[in-house]
Structure 1
Amino acid sequence: MGDQGRVLDAVIGSVARHEEEETLPVAAVARRLGVAPATLRTWDRRYGIGPRAHTTGRHRRYTHDDIARLELMQQALLRGATPAEAASYALRVTTPPEPPEDVGPRAGGASLLREFSTRSAIVLGLSRAAMAMDTVAIQQLIADSVDALGVVAVWDDVLRPVLAALASRWEQTGECVEVEHLVRECTLAAMIGATPTVTAPRNPRPVLLCCAPDEQHSLPLHVLRAALAREGISTQMLGAALPASALAAAVRRTGPAAVAVWAQLPEYAHAELFAEVPRTRQRVRLFACGPGWFTTDLPARVNRLEDLTGAVRRIESLVGAG
């Protein structure tokens, strides 16, 4: 148990440092929240919801209180508040009371903070199960978390921190490759299991989901598929590293309502891909999903979706009316 315990402590410590670090730079906070760094800078500049300690000429460094306010703002946005309303709410709440029904999170701010604490406990539990290579425990933890929090929240707040800690451990020491692979496979199985069969879809034509050519990071795409299915949106999963010619052929065969292309890494995010999507008699909406597209100049007809929560809402709003 000596070596295993040492590695477990290192992995859990990596996750814990992610939660306990005094301040974080804008890029790290953006990854944590699933938004672009430019979005955080815009929120700070327009609405004053940024790091309280930030001064002119110095880099932004976010404390836990700063991040908590941003998370409250995100929850308010999900309730349909405008950015200005959401920022005003988040800045107004210090020890959060129950928010007004027309603005703010589904539950009160205090409940939201308790939920964050619960998620941290789930992360540590999953880390321990992973290091023990306990497949049953890993799958049960993920399944229970999905039932409690939803697929996107579990991916963002539970699975990504654990996978990031394992990947960091592998890069530093060469250890835990097998553990990371196991967690990924369990995650894939859990997301497939959390994807209901949509027998009466809200969209008469499906949404095609694929990764950009050469992009192998397809797990977020399975999370997106599960979340859309739970909203009654039918999809067709084409998976990782789909060649542009194959995507064009799929569009001709299926006449989809939309095409969502995931890129995790910027080297695979080529805007030319969308030019190869054929025009059809009925409009096909195009979505560039994932952090790989953050710095890519996209054609006007392509919707940029910066995070999974926004992707679900945007795709549902545009194709779910059918």
Structure 2
Amino acid sequence: MVATTAHAPGLTVAATARRLGVAPATLRTWDRRYGIGPSDHAPGRHRRYSTTDLARLELMQRALVRGVAPADAARYALSVPAPERAPVPEGNGAQAPARSRGAAGRARGLARAALALDSVAVCDVITESVRGEGVETTWDEVVRPVLGAVGTRWADTATGVEVEHLVTACAVAAFGALLGRPDGAANPARPVLLAAVPGEQHALPVLALSAALRAHGVVPRYLGADLPAAALAAAARRTAPAAVVLWSLLPETADPRLLATLPRTRLRFRTFAAGPGWDATALPERTGRLTSLGAAVATISSAVHV
């Protein structure tokens, strides 16, 4: 058993989930099913993840992205002796990098503007963050924490849905504007199709991924929410994409047959499952699992630029 020390108190489940870009429920599932959880078991305290625990989770994420089954990915991560990562400060007076401090300030400003239902200020904060921090930081450290807090408020009090709608609308406008930005030169690369699966109405995360890919030189074709299977297949035949990314928030919308039956129009065609809805789903062979925005951008960019 590894206990955290006074100067390294470890991360809560919620903080660890934010770092990895997964839902807290996913971490609890990984702990319960595969034994890859927090090692701090100090009596009278909530269990916390050490830097070694976080490094193991990152190893598991990287394996999942490569299409490894969750049980095998966890077994691999647990087999590596004492993996290391750079310490990640989390509160307790620790000094964060300047970029994180800036993003935290923008998140506070976004929360204040959202609660005041000030649509101009909300849109300005998100747009300025995209311009100054980039899409990935804006999503991970500005927009998503605010939407998460609003979601918690809704779960506790059944209030605040108007705040969620306002922030979502402004984020859609800011990220969507990036998709129409010209390259300055013709890009001969095959596109990447990105869409939410049939029945899935929450497509903001895959729009953020599309915008981030665009900023990294990938040609995204964002097809929106609740895309019918027939329309997805038609789009794949028409564009011969390098890859297809399907987003699912909920398990009931995560149908692996959508991935398995896509028309293969290229020799190096790749499919990726994004979102927590796929967590408990057995994916088709050679389908990668995307578990965070940063990892998704890196993985898709590598696959497309090969």
Shorter chain as normaliser: what TM range? Answer: 0.7 to 0.9
Cα separation, 2, equivalents of 1:67 and 1:198: 40
- Offset of 1:55 from its aligned partner? 6.5
Deviation for aligned residue 1:122? 2.0
Cα offset for 1:149?
Answer: 2.2
The answer to whether the 8 Å contact 1:198/1:229 transfers is: no
TM-score by length of 1: 0.71
Q: How does 1:17-96 map to 2 (within 5 A)?
A: 24-25=12-13, 29-35=16-22, 37=27, 51=38, 53-54=40-41, 61-62=47-48, 66=50, 70=54, 87-90=83-86
Counterpart of 2:171 in structure 1 is 187
Match of 1:197 in 2: 182
Structure 1 match to 2:73: none
**Aligned partner letter, 2:174:** A
Alignment of 1:212-291 (within 5 A): 212-291=197-276
Give the equivalent residue in structure 2 for 1:157.
141
- The aligned counterpart of 2:69 is none
User: 2:100 pairs with 105, 109, 116, which one?
Assistant: 116
* 8 A contact 2:117–2:163 mirrored in 1: yes
Question: What residue ranges of structure 1 are gaps of 5+ in the alignment?
Answer: 1-21, 95-109
Q: For the residues of structure 2 that align with 1:40 and 1:118, how far apart are their CA atoms?
A: 32
Helix, strand or coil at the partner of 1:233:
coil
Q: Which of 106, 121, 125 is equivalent to 1:141?
A: 125
Q: Identity of paired residues, percent? A: 44
Superimposed CA distance per residue, residues 129-160 of structure 1 (whole angstroms, 9 cap, x where no aligned partner): 11111122111111222223221221112111
* Residue aligned with 1:62, SS: coil
1:308 Cα deviation (Å)?
A: 1.2
- The RMSD of aligned alpha carbons is 3.8
Moved more, 169-178 or 119-128: 169-178
Q: Which residue of 2 aligns with 1:98?
A: none
Greater RCO (Cα-Cα under 8 Å, separation 6 or more): 2
AA aligned opposite 2:176: I
Counterpart selection for 1:128 from 112, 116, 122: 112
Q: 1:284 to 1:39 in 2, by over 3 A?
A: farther
Distance 1:256-1:130 versus aligned 2 partners, 3 A rule = same
Secondary structure of the 2:194 match is: strand
TM-score (norm 2): 0.74
Partner amino acid, structure 2, of 1:135: S
**What one-letter code is carried by the residue in structure 2 that aligns with 1:214?**
G
Q: Distance in 2 between matches of 1:86 and 1:190?
A: 41
The residue number in structure 2 matching 1:14 is: none
CA pair 198-69 structure 1, distance change in 2 beyond 3 A: farther
Give the structure 1 partner of residue 156 of structure 2.
Answer: 172
Superposition deviation, residue 60 in structure 1: 7.5
User: CA offset at residue 255 of structure 1?
Assistant: 1.1
Deviations 1:215-267 (A, max 9, x none): 11110111111111111111111111111111111111111111111111121
Q: After superposition, what is the alpha-carbon deviation per residue over 1:291-322, rounded to whole angstroms, capped at 9, x for unaligned?
A: 2112110111211111111111011001124x
Matched letter for residue 61 of structure 1: R
Whole-Å Cα distance in 2 between the matches of residues 59 and 247 of structure 1?
48
Name the CA shift for 1:257/1:200 in 2 (closer, same or farther; >3 Å).
Answer: farther
- Work out the CA distance in 2 between the residues paired with 1:85 and 1:317: 28
CA displacement at 1:32 relative to structure 2: 4.8
| Structure 2 gap segments, 5+ residues each | 1-9, 63-76
SS of 2:212's equivalent? helix
Does the CA-based 8 Å contact 2:175-2:208 persist in structure 1?
yes
Give the Cα separation in 2 of the matches to 1:174 and 1:67.
36
CA drift of 1:90 comes to 2.3
Structure 1 position 320 matched with structure 2 position 276: no
